[in-house]
Amino acid sequence: MLEHPSLSVEPPGPSRAIFDAASGERLGRAVRVRRGLLRPSVTAVHEGPDDSLLAVAGRTRWFGPVVVTDAEGQAVATVRGGVVVGPDGAFLARRTGRSFVNTKAIPLATWTRGGDRITLRFTEPTDGQPLLRMALLAAALLD
């Protein structure tokens, strides 16, 4: 999924299909998972025909930052107030309007709304960086 240059995501709901924006091919889905009354829900991103887990994004406590983990549960990024940082705390991106930019204000991804879907377009600086794309996808799903 993350190798595609642009993704189209269905509107918010319990399950959101994710498509290749260019071909319309269904690539996976994002599912809201409830974890009980005392813990906030998370969004699990699944990919491929086997529906394998790609990433999970959610808060560990009600008013904390959103933590993004990969399928093995390893931290990939943290999102707080439109700022995306790596697991080591290093700045990855910040949200400005409908884009995420790096420290030099170079766009890493942009998104648009078309009908009831959002389309996330990754830019060249994210090529070959699946973990960065994973973090940006998770942050866009929060919108």
**What residue segments make up the domains of the chain, in order of their start?**
6-141
Cα–Cα–Cα angle for 55, 2, 135, rounded to 5 degrees:
50
Instruction: Check if the beta carbon of residue 98 is closer than 8 Å to that of residue 111.
Output: yes
Q: What are phi and psi of 137, to 5 degrees?
A: -60, -45
Distances (CA, A) of 103 to 94, 113, 116, 119: 8, 25, 31, 23
Measured between alpha carbons, how far is 114 from 135 in angstroms, rounded to an integer?
Answer: 22
- Position 116 scores a pLDDT of 86
CATH number of 6-141: 2.40.160
Per-residue pLDDT of the chain (143 residues; tens, 9 = 90+): 999 999 999 988 889 999 999 999 999 999 999 887 888 889 999 999 999 999 999 988 888 899 999 999 999 999 998 999 999 999 999 999 999 999 999 999 999 988 889 999 999 999 999 999 999 999 998 86
